[in-house]
Every structure is written in C-alpha cells, then in structure tokens.
Amino acid sequence: MRFDNIIIGGGLSGLIAAVVSQRAGKKTAIISAGQSALHFWSGSFEFLGNIDGNMVIDHPLMEAERLPDSHPYKKIGIPHTAELLSKVAPLLQEAGIKVKGSLERNHYRLTPMGFLKPAWLTLDEYFMADHPSQIEGKKYAIVNIAGYIDFYPNFLRNGLDKHGASCTISAIDIPQLAPLRKSTTEMRATNMSRFLRNDAVDSLAKEINMASRGADEAIVPAVLGMFSDEPVRRLRNQIDRPVNFIATTPASVPGVRCQLSLRDYFIRLGGTFIPGDTVKKGVFDGQRLKRVYTVNFGDMPIEADNFVICTGSFFGHGLIANIDRIYEPIFGLDLNETGDRTKWYDKDFFSPQPYMGTGVTTDSEFRPSLNGHTIENLYATGALLAGFNALKEGSGAGITLATALHAASKICS
C-alpha cells in the first residue's frame, strides 16, 4: 500500500499537516493509535502567553523574539512562523470551526476556575475579553445544569467579581436530561451534548433565558454541539442576550468537535484516516524511511515518500518513560533526555517540570535523527519535540500548528 505522505499521529498537529498535504494533491494517510489530546481542548489556542514569568498580552510576536534560538518559533523564524500561523484560522473555518483572535495581540479567555489567561485564537462561542476592563460593570448570569459537577459557578463568579462584574448563579433542568442524570458516572459534558439536540435545545434555551433575565450576558458550560455548532447557534438564536461558553473537563465537547471536524474535512478532501492502529517499526534505506509496519496491518507495510511523526508527549505514549530511561517507542529516535530520573521532575508541582521539555531532537528542518544520523524524509512536530515547556509558556497550540504547517510545506514541495 502506498501513499505520498504518511502522518503518524492523529492529533491537532497530524490533522493540520495531513489536511494541507491532501489539499496540495498529495495522497495522504493518518495513522492514529487512539483519540487525541485535542479532546481536552480549552477552547483556545495559545501562541505565547508567558515569558520570563510575565504574562504576554501585547506584541506576542515581538516577545517571541526573546525566546532562545533553539525554540521552534525561532528555528522557523518569527516572521515565517507568523505567516504560517495566519493560515490556521481560515483552515479551521473550512473545516467548520470558527475561531476569533489575532497574532497581533492576545486576548483573554476565562478558565473554568475563573482565571483570565492569554489566548491567541478562541472558539467563536466561548467567553473572551480583549481587556479585563471589558468585564467591569457587567452583569453575568452564570447558569449551570442541575447535577452537573464539572462546572464551577462559584469559582467563575469569584474570578469575574474581582474584575468588577456582578454575577448571579443558578442551576436549571430540562426533562430531556432526566434519563442521563440517573447514571452515576455518565453525566459528562460529552454525553449531555448527545441529549441536547433539537427540541431539547429549545427547552434549554427557554430555561437559560429565564434564568439570565436582567443580566447582560449568560455564561454556561460548553455542553452543546459535539459534532457541529448547529445546536449552539440554535440555542443562541433563542436567547435574548449574548451567551458564552466555558470549557469543561476532562473531555471537552468543542474539543471533540474540533477533532471530528478536522478529521472529516481531511476525509472529504480524499484523505485516508486509519484509526486505532499503532506504528510498530520502520524500515530504512540508508537515511530514508521507506515504509512502516503497524499492529493491525501486520505483514503488509505502508510505503510513502515522506513521513511526519506527531505522536505527542508522554500522554498517548509518544514518549515512554520506564524507571531508568525515556525513549521514543516507534523508531527509537534521538532524544534530549538524561537517564537520571531524578532530573526529570521538580518537587514543586507548579514549578516548570523538566520532563515537559523532554523530546525528540531535530535539525533546522525539524527532522529527527537515529543514533546521530538525520532521517531525510521524516519530520517531527508538536509536543514530541524537545526543548520547550509549552505549559509554562502558553505556547502548546502555536508550536503544534507552526511545526505542523512547516512540515507540511516540506512534504508538499
């Protein structure tokens, strides 16, 4: 079986690279072991949120110049990074995902715990503010669904009040959710979204309308629209004031929507998505990767001209740690890790953790190496890469997307 390009890893990085590749007329396949970290999406993508302990709001591109030369943004070059990332919003739009925001200036998103955090792009239906002053004097109605414990109205109110807003809190119920509430474990955002369609959305709208009477805006948990944003639009059309959503954990409804939308877009373009399969090994010819073998395909390998590996970090087993070493399990790619596990962590949970920066080392073109020898036609992207702490920097999505688009441009030329 042959493809022009094979993408290993079906998360945000892999999906974007694959879409660009397929759009360019290259026969592309994604091999994905399981569903991705995009399922826990906060609803916002960050480019750079924090540098040297300070929050970045104005001039994120300028601030990014201060990053070390080994940082993916600097390797690509900030201007080129900006150019690549400017393609993201239109691309997402084509997949049916509408986002707002700009690289020129970060805006704020409201976290489930009531904190304002910098963001580059935020999903259209989510709460966002250009400046905390926009919150001052506003009256918010925070409306939860009765019995739903993954949404925290108290914490949201606490956060908004700090910026001069005043909030009411209420919980509503609709009969369509009664069967789900009987389940002790499955009243999750994703399951609720399956029940909240058609007339249930109308009932919900009616309740939210009443509960938010007198307020400037309603704030509700993101439990609508796992497959498309149609229920969101339907709800908003029936409510007399703006309705904005807040992310839930762990699995996020818009996260699933983003994943499925990008995947379906890729398939509509003619791409091949191979789910639930893991690449076991690769066969090389000199410094070129010729073909890969997967668990399900067994003795029938898949060949390609180019490969992109976006298997993520420890989550999803892109990297694996045992008691005395960290390794990349598919090819055994070169990493930047030490073998000393005491160096992998900091004892303070909220301090920067060294393991977050562990990953695959690459050349200037983001090609990884095996025993010091660069693999000519393999590109590594996203959280698998070494040398940055995306969590602390607030740069996870930006790096994932920039490196994916960069790799895509390489494999399409």
Which parts of 145-204 interact with another protein (CB under 8 A)?
146-147, 149-150, 152, 154-155, 157-159, 178-188, 190-191, 194
CA distances to 21, 27, 318, 319 from 405, in Å: 9, 17, 20, 22
The reply to whether 327 sits near another protein by the rule CB under 8 A is no
What is the rounded radius of gyration, in angstroms, for the C-alpha atoms of the chain? 22
CA distances to 210, 224, 260 from 154, in Å: 20, 21, 32
Q: Return d(Cα 278, Cα 34) in angstroms, integer.
A: 8
- Closest contact distance (angstroms) between CB of 300 and another protein is 6
- Closest contact distance (angstroms) between CB of 98 and another protein is 20
Stretch that binds another protein, among 95-103, 109-117, 129-137, 285-293 (CB under 8 A): 109-117
Q: What are phi and psi of 305, to 5 degrees?
A: -75, -40
What is the x/- site pattern for another protein, positions 214-253, by CB under 8 A? ------------x--------------------x-xxxx-
Instruction: Give the nearer residue to another protein in terms of CB position, either 101 or 394.
Output: 394
Q: Is 161 left (phi over 0), alpha (psi -120 to 50) or beta?
A: alpha
Instruction: Give the nearer residue to another protein in terms of CB position, either 356 or 375.
Output: 356
The reply to whether 353 sits near another protein by the rule CB under 8 A is yes
CA distances to 27, 191, 326, 408 from 34, in Å: 22, 19, 21, 22
- Closest contact distance (angstroms) between CB of 149 and another protein is 5
- Closest contact distance (angstroms) between CB of 277 and another protein is 5
- Sheet strands (E) in 258-371: 272-275, 279-285, 288-294, 302-309, 320-321, 326-327, 369-370
Q: Are 132 and 104 in contact (CB under 8 A)?
A: no
Instruction: Give the nearer residue to another protein in terms of CB position, either 50 or 362.
Output: 50
- Closest contact distance (angstroms) between CB of 117 and another protein is 5
Instruction: Give the nearer residue to another protein in terms of CB position, either 101 or 396.
Output: 396
- Closest contact distance (angstroms) between CB of 292 and another protein is 14
Q: Is 88 left (phi over 0), alpha (psi -120 to 50) or beta?
A: alpha
Touching another protein, residues 259-318 (CB under 8 A) = 264, 267-268, 272, 274-278, 294-300, 313-317
